[in-house]
């Protein structure tokens, strides 16, 4: 297995769910986006509640409380495990067994945020993320939750109608897989890079170009048979 940041969960159905765990950068940016949203929220609320005078400042304090402690919990429980910031960064909170995060998990991880921020600037949280295997801050560890990248919505395997071309060179199974994936992804990469990648195969399949490779891939995939 490659050395990577995937968290694997074995399910009762005998398959393995492979979840890409989110690292510090993505999570920090998500936090920043949330912080900006909350700040704007405070700002608008402060202006609006001006008109209510003393009572308004009471409501403002309740709002402040909710923003501090409930914002994350409510979004995580009701909006599929992601605050707006996390959603923007393509992140999602879930239990470490792969089930959606519920009230208890979310409440624990977010209350214990008070410890992660200590002694300032999320220092404990940062250290914890660095040293835990699944990039969990202390709150995550205590709640048994992880933050993962959302799996891509749907990676469409676009196969154009180029004709399959038989390949005479024997390829090992993972080489075949690499070729199939190349054909799949070629549409999303710029042409120069595609050509460059195709050149890598020159020693194995002499004189091959990207177009030919795609046709070989189609043959491997069994298009038109």
Partner 1 sequence: MKQEAFETRYRDTWDRYEDCLQALRKSRRAGARTTAQTNRETTGETTGQTMGREFPALYRQICHHLALTRARRYSAGLEQRLSRLALDGHQHLYRTRLPFVTAFLRFFARDFPQAFRRHWRFTLAAHLVFYLPAVGMATGVLLKPDLIYSMISPADVASLESMYDPENRRLGRERQADTDLMMFGFYIYNNISIGFQTFAGGLLFGVGSVFYLVFNGIYLGAVAAHLTAAGFVETFYTFVIAHGAFELTAIAIFGAAGLKLGYSAIVPGRKRRWHAIRDAALQALPLVYGGTFMLLVAAFVEAFWSSTSWPPAGVKYAVGAVLWAFVYAYLLLPGRDES
Q: Which residues bind partner 1 (CB under 8 A)?
A: 11, 13-15, 17-19, 52-55, 57-62, 64-65, 68-69, 94, 97-100, 102, 104, 107-108, 111-115, 118, 138, 141-144, 151-157, 173-174, 176-177, 180-181, 183-185, 218, 220-225
Query: Residue 166 or 206: which CB sits closer to partner 1?
Result: 166
Alpha-carbon span 138 to 124, nearest angstrom = 8
Secondary structure E strands in the chain: 6-10, 16-20, 91-95, 145-149
Query: Residue 11 or 50: which CB sits closer to partner 1?
Result: 11
Shortest Å distance, C-beta 131 to partner 1: 12
Shortest Å distance, C-beta 101 to partner 1: 10
Alpha-carbon span 179 to 197, nearest angstrom = 11
Shortest Å distance, C-beta 134 to partner 1: 11
Shortest Å distance, C-beta 103 to partner 1: 9
Tell me if 41 sits within 8 A of 104, measured CB to CB.
no
Query: Residue 156 or 169: which CB sits closer to partner 1?
Result: 156
Query: Residue 3 or 55: which CB sits closer to partner 1?
Result: 55
> In the numeric block, which tokens belong to residue 87?
């959603």
Secondary structure E strands in 134-210: 145-149
Give the number of other CB atoms < 10 A from CB of residue 103. Answer: 10
Alpha-carbon span 31 to 35, nearest angstrom = 6
Q: CA angle, 146 as apex, 143 and 152 as ends, to 5°?
A: 150
Alpha-carbon span 65 to 193, nearest angstrom = 51
Query: Residue 50 or 104: which CB sits closer to partner 1?
Result: 104
Shortest Å distance, C-beta 29 to partner 1: 23
């Amino acid at each position: 297995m490659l050395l990577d940041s995937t968290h694997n969960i074995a399910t009762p159905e005998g398959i393995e769910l492979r979840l890409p765990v989110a690292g510090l950068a993505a999570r920090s940016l998500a936090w920043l986006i949330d912080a900006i949203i909350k700040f704007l929220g405070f700002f608008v609320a402060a202006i609006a509640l001006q008109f209510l005078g003393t009572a308004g400042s009471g409501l403002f304090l309740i709002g402040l409380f909710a923003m501090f402690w409930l914002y994350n919990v409510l979004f995580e429980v009701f909006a599929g495990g992601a605050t707006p910031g996390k959603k923007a960064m393509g992140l999602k909170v879930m239990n470490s067994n792969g089930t959606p995060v519920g009230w208890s998990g979310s409440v624990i991880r977010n209350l214990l945020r008070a410890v992660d921020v200590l002694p300032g600037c999320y220092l404990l949280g940062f250290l914890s993320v660095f040293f835990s295997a699944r990039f969990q801050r202390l709150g995550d560890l205590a709640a048994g939750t992880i933050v993962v990248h959302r799996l891509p919505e749907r990676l469409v395997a676009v196969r154009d109608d180029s004709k399959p071309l038989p390949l005479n060179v024997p390829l090992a199974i993972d080489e075949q897989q690499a070729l199939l994936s190349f054909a799949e992804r070629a549409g999303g990469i710029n042409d120069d890079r595609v050509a460059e990648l195709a050149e890598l195969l020159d020693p194995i399949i002499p004189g091959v170009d990207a177009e030919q490779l795609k046709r070989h891939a189609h043959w491997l995939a069994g298009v038109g048979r």
